[in-house]
Amino acid sequence: MGIDLSLLWAGIILFGVMMYVIMDGFDLGIGLLYPFVPDRHDRDVMMNTVAPVWDGNETWLVMGGAGLLAAFPLVYAVVLSALYLPLVFMLLGLIFRGVAFEFRFKANDRERHVWDKAFIGGSLVAAFFQGVVLGAYIDGIKMDGRAFAGGPLDWLAPFPLFCGIGVVAAYALLGSTWLIMKTEGDLHRHMLALTRPLVGLLLAAIVAISVWTPLAQPHIAERWFSWPNLAWFAPVPLLVVLAMVGLVRSLDRAPVAAPFLYALGLVFLGYSGLAISVWPNILPGISIWQAAAPPQSQGFALVGALFIIPFILMYTVWSYYVFRGKVRHGEGYH
């Protein structure tokens, strides 16, 4: 029996995008939390917790996009045609934020607030439009056969915009729990206080999207609530509830890494719920096998992917190991 290249590539792309969401989510979250921490020295510490790793985190975004182009060029063409505006806004946000990251450390006191605002705005725009892209994808892209048949503003609808708010809440929670793990003193206590309302905000977003999606998409309701799927997928919402309870309870126990691990678990469960809702279709009415590139193209690109991915994993693990532990005032990568 031969290897199912389409299935293998779908797994690689799902893994790459999940790694990006998890790893870039918490450093985008730090920018979202900046307005709640006015002290310049605390802001320095916040930024220094991710300064050594933030650009490496975005490698996974490149990996996911390149994989989609190589293995499923039809999806790449349709998604870019349908969602190029929110994707451009997302990239502009990432660029603003990246530039602010580097220039803020070199700015004098009179100019630093400009880069702080760029960091906040870039993080907010990037996070919000990632959610808009996700929401528009779940909402369904208009197709005529194998071509995009909608307009450039189809994504400008209530459900994608609400998903943008949900992703902002999720990234802010990842950022606050990351800072609980990486800081101490007043900043640590401030993050503990911020995390509690963020848990409530994310829970409200999850409940709203979980109700809204099956009501608006009958095929997704059929996937989740038909038998025996209901029994197979029931652990996902149950685990979400358990992770929420565990996260809240961990905040009362002098936490270090536990809240961040629970927050990662929530993001992973949300991502799994999305995969369950759409699988095996990758576009409306088109499965991963129908959208796949020729096997020769997939096989050629797979050789490169299987060579590169272990290197990305190795330097990622090494970076986090080298820069492990708490970050204190006066300490920094720059």
Residue in the block written with tokens 């918490």: 26
pLDDT the model gives residue 1: 57
Helical spans, DSSP H, in the chain: 5-33, 40-50, 54-57, 59-71, 73-104, 112-139, 158-182, 185-216, 218-225, 229-233, 235-250, 258-278, 295-322
What domains can be seen in the chain, in order of their start residue? 5-323 (1.20.1630)
d(CA 202, CA 166): 7
Q: What are 55-111's pLDDT values in tens digits?
A: 888 888 888 888 899 999 999 999 999 999 999 999 999 998 889 888 888 888 888
Which tokens sit at 15? 């893994």
pLDDT the model gives residue 56: 81
d(CA 90, CA 133): 9
pLDDT the model gives residue 11: 92
Residues of the chain with pLDDT under 50: none
> With contact defined as beta carbons under 8 Å apart, do 205 and 166 qualify?
yes
Share of the chain above pLDDT 70, in %: 99
Stated pTM of the model:
0.93
Q: Could you give the angle at the alpha carbon of 275 between the alpha carbons of 270 and 281, nearest 5°?
A: 155
